[in-house]
Structure 1
Amino acid sequence: MAEAKPVDARVERSNRMVAAVCVAFFAGMVGMAYAAVPLYAMFCQITGYGGTTQRVTQYSDRVLDRTVTVRFDANVAGGVPWDFQPVQRDVTMKIGETTQIAYKATNLFDRPSAGRATFNVTPELAGAYFNKVECFCFTDTTLNAGETIDMPVVFYVDPAIEDVPELKNMKTITLSYTFFPIEPAAPKAAAATGKTGKTADEKIGG
């Protein structure tokens, strides 16, 4: 029995080491999972994977005779008490032509509420060629009770899409936005005026 004690001690130390390694491994995997979210978002932004559109700062230098109809879709997730709609349901445009449309959102709640929009394009392969110069995606938006805002989107379809065999016969692209709830920011003094109907540009400027 006297010789069993050091054996038990060694086993106990070994078990503690195994447990420590497991905990460290688990923590590392959790950390990698959280890190993967922004990395995956960045990957989608660069490649257009999953119908993610591209964000650009310049306009197309080429306009084709080929036209495409772009349809606009609007959705709100649970917890966003808004009426969210495109101002127009679709637009027919030339590939390479810069076009501006707008979405409109109204807070139907009796107190401020906030949301953040994500987006995607179908067919998914077209996402890499759908270039947005201006949009409201991934921006925290807070609306006062009853407030309405217009949110412009400026975009064009990259003429390089003409070189994609799978999209040669594509006639329609759908741009879809979904607002998800976030905690509203603390109200500013200017918000106490209770004005409604301000556009996104007015909110930025004022």
Structure 2
Amino acid sequence: MNFFPHLRLAAQRCEGAAARLTTRPCSYRAWSVNNSVRRHPAQGRRYATEAGPSSSSSSSTQQPPPQRPISPQQAFASRDEMYRRRNRSLLMYTTAVIIVGVGVTYAAVPLYRMFCAATGFAGTPKVGMGKFEADRMVPVEEAKRIKVHFNADKSDSLPWSFVPQQKHISVLPGESSLAFYKARNTSEKDIIGIATYNVTPDRVAPYFAKVECFCFEEQKLLAGEEVDMPLLFFIDKDILDDPTCRNLDDVVLSYTFFRARRNAQGHLEPDAPDDVVQASQGFDKYEMAPRVADRDKENAA
């Protein structure tokens, strides 16, 4: 028959293909897929994406989970909550600014006095604690003595007599000295007074340190009472290094007593016009800022 040669040729081709398959290793992983993967192609794809870096192409095709649509009521509620939080934060910030502003207004006068006492601004003697160290209160024997003159004034509305018990004292830089003022209530009523002070010339104020004094404190004198008011001070030896004070020979320390009154904040202050009090502190050459109450009245008008 003619088909036998064809069968023989087909058998030879099958034997050659079988030989090639046995000598060539198989690199197809698909031949070892188990039955569960065959039954579930989706699980097989997930297994392939978690297997290793070769699944980067399949991971890039993953889609984000679908988002649930928001109803208009939920959108309005979310927006209202955002506005409430923003308004609450704004209210807190505004309240904090108002509180700080009111506190600064109440503390302006004592803070200004502390600044003048710490820096010696405009002839205000220094009262900082750093000036009272032991090594700074040692007299410089080879230095020239400085004559300190004492002056006393009082307001016309204060029925007191107020005088210094000594006209002047000559001191060395770094030498502590004690002086006294005498005050007497000549009225028949108890009166509270308050004193301001100033030292001239202005350039010596940063070096004039007071250890103890009666200024800016409540001084209550009973009717007809007389008291001695001590003053302990020294001139800092750093004045010798200041070229503007090398030819300084005389210093004037002035105290002015006023009748005391309480302001709107409950603090004691001199019962006198502001320009008079300002002049008693050596600030008559400086323009005075208007009071808050006066400024509010001007703005309202």
TM-score, structure 2 length as denominator?
A: 0.49
Offset from partner CA, 1:61-81 (integer Å, 9 cap, x none): 432232100000111123211
2:190 counterpart of 1:112: yes
Deviation at 1:137, TM superposition (A): 1.1
Q: Distance in 2 between matches of 1:30 and 1:50?
A: 27
Deviation at 1:116, TM superposition (A): 0.9
Q: CA RMSD in A?
A: 2.4
Which structure is higher in RCO with an 8 Å CA cutoff and minimum separation 6?
1
- 1:159 is aligned to 237
Task: Give the % identical residues.
Answer: 41
Per the alignment, in what secondary structure is the counterpart of residue 74 of structure 1? strand
Per the alignment, in what secondary structure is the counterpart of residue 79 of structure 1? coil
Per the alignment, in what secondary structure is the counterpart of residue 85 of structure 1? strand
Aligned residues: 160
**Residues 58 and 117 of structure 1: is their aligned pair in 2 closer, same or farther, counting only changes over 3 Å?**
farther
Which protein is bigger by CA-based radius of gyration?
Answer: 2
- 2:181 is aligned to 103
**Structure holding more helix per residue:** 2
- 2:108 is aligned to 36
Deviation at 1:58, TM superposition (A): 4.1
**Structure holding more strand per residue:** 1
Deviation at 1:90, TM superposition (A): 0.5
Please tell me whether the aligned partners of residues 51 and 122 of structure 1 are also in contact (alpha carbons under 8 angstroms): yes
Deviation at 1:35, TM superposition (A): 4.0
Amino acid at match of 1:170: L
Please tell me whether the aligned partners of residues 77 and 181 of structure 1 are also in contact (alpha carbons under 8 angstroms): yes
The equivalent position to 2:251 in structure 1, one of 153, 167, 173, is 173
- 2:10 is aligned to none
Offset from partner CA, 1:145-198 (integer Å, 9 cap, x none): 1110001101110000111111110101111111121159xxxxxxxxxxxxxx
Offset from partner CA, 1:33-55 (integer Å, 9 cap, x none): 55432222121111100111112
2:227 counterpart of 1:149: yes
Structure 1 runs, 4 residues or longer, greater than 2 Å off: 28-39, 56-62
Per the alignment, in what secondary structure is the counterpart of residue 41 of structure 1? helix
Offset from partner CA, 1:111-159 (integer Å, 9 cap, x none): 1111011111101121110111111111101111111000110111000
Matches within 5 A, 1:1-206: 34-55=106-127, 56=129, 57-59=132-134, 60-64=136-140, 65-183=143-261
Per the alignment, in what secondary structure is the counterpart of residue 157 of structure 2? coil
Alignment gaps of 5+ in structure 2: 1-99, 263-301
Please tell me whether the aligned partners of residues 173 and 237 of structure 2 are also in contact (alpha carbons under 8 angstroms): yes
Q: Distance in 2 between matches of 1:123 and 1:92?
A: 16
Q: Distance in 2 between matches of 1:142 and 1:33?
A: 27
Per the alignment, in what secondary structure is the counterpart of residue 174 of structure 2? coil
Q: Distance in 1 between matches of 2:102 and 2:256?
A: 27
Amino acid at match of 1:63: P
Q: Distance in 2 between matches of 1:135 and 1:174?
A: 16
TM-score, structure 1 length as denominator?
A: 0.70
Amino acid at match of 1:87: Q
Offset from partner CA, 1:88-116 (integer Å, 9 cap, x none): 01011111111101000011111111101
Please tell me whether the aligned partners of residues 137 and 175 of structure 2 are also in contact (alpha carbons under 8 angstroms): no
Amino acid at match of 1:52: T
Q: Distance in 2 between matches of 1:45 and 1:178?
A: 17
Q: Distance in 2 between matches of 1:61 and 1:150?
A: 25
